[in-house]
Structure 1
Amino acid sequence: MKFPFAVLTFAALMSVAATPVLSADTPAKPELSIKTLDGKTFDLADHKGNWVILNFWATWCSPCIEELPALSKFVSAHKNVRAIGLAYEDTDVAEIKEFLVKHPVSFPIAQIDTFDPPKSLETPRGLPTTYVVAPDGSIAKKFMGPIDEAALRAVTGIKD
């Protein structure tokens, strides 16, 4: 019996949910400058001195949808935390904006070209994939699978 790729990917992700993973291909200090859906530019270098969450997600990804409120709440609650949602899907921008009306977040969203993803980050092998960038610009952790507030607190050391 053959299983669709999405089912296999989801099953694989669930087995490694919230597992920190850094491979040899993960850059020490990534670069990212991207146009957001609201027409502004998010440049990772502009956020040095803060924790930054880079979250690859998609509108069709159930674990991604489930973690968005926790990410949004964490970012809103901490002045030294920034985030950008990287919509990793080949769909119309209008569909992503419509999704965000139903699932609002407190951080900007940009759409990633699935055929030409950012060069300084590994191409996601499953969704969600999240990088937590330390205030010095280095990657503190990479997570494959959904994360929550406890995982973010553990990485950032934020207690309140």
Structure 2
Amino acid sequence: MNILFRLPALLALALALAACQPAAEPPAADDSAAAPAPAAPAAPAESPTHPTLVVETLDHGRFDLAEKRGSWVVVNFWATWCKPCLKEIPDFSAFDAAREDVQVIGLAYEEIEPAAMREFLAKHPAGYPIALLDVYSPPADFETPRGLPMTYLIAPNGQVAKKFLGPVTSQELAAAITEAALTPPPAG
């Protein structure tokens, strides 16, 4: 093989592999199954610390983040074509059902007709409300997703407690809730 071809190919491979490394140490392995790597927290948000969100859900309901004060809210940007997003749906559904202090909202960030989304959800049911977003006009108080899934954990006071870029599990959400509940709010 020509050295001029090999060098760029090796460099590209090295960069691709380096990008796949987890941002933090992976959780300790257990014998039952390999746990997915933890979601890497995204860069600090440029968005407001107390975001607003009012959307119409597929069931013609209205989801207003301000009305959820007093509860933890999981705001999950996802898409039907995103395989990691699909793995989150049953986990988030169980988490939402198991915890009275948590409300999950799924924000479908893709161009899809409501009828097609309802058909998709008939095959992949979500136990929480789903809203379709206009990809050209995402919610102003949230960063435009750089990748999917992208999940925000909103504290009972309405403040962003944590942001996850990449897949996240209910166990990681529960740990983030515990950590945020133990951390005093910033002064000022």
TM-score of the superposed pair, with normalisation by structure 1: 0.87
Runs (5+) with no aligned partner, structure 1: 1-11
Asked if the contact 2:77–2:148 (Cα under 8 Å) also holds between the matched residues in 1, the reply is yes
* 1:1-160 equivalent positions in 2, closer than 5 A: 18-157=39-178
Distance 1:157 1:118 in 2: 27
Q: Which has the higher contact order (CA 8 A, sep 6+)?
A: 1
TM-superposition CA deviations, 1:126-157 (whole Å, max 9, x none):
00000000000000100000000221111112
Identity %: 48
Amino acid at match of 1:123: T
Asked if the contact 2:151–2:164 (Cα under 8 Å) also holds between the matched residues in 1, the reply is yes
Runs (5+) with no aligned partner, structure 2: 1-18, 24-37, 180-188
Asked if the contact 2:70–2:157 (Cα under 8 Å) also holds between the matched residues in 1, the reply is yes
Bigger Cα Rg: 2
Distance 1:110 1:32 in 2: 11
Distance 1:82 1:104 in 2: 16
Distance 1:87 1:134 in 2: 22
CA separation of 1:102 and 1:14: change in aligned 2, threshold 3 A? farther
TM-score of the superposed pair, with normalisation by structure 2: 0.74
SS at match of 2:66: helix
Q: CA deviation at 1:26?
A: 3.0
Structure 1's consecutive aligned runs of 4 or more residues displaced over 4 angstroms after TM superposition are 12-17
Q: What is the number of residues matched between the two proteins?
A: 149
- Report the aligned-residue RMSD: 2.0
Q: Which moved more, 1:18-27 or 1:64-73?
A: 18-27
Amino acid at match of 1:38: D
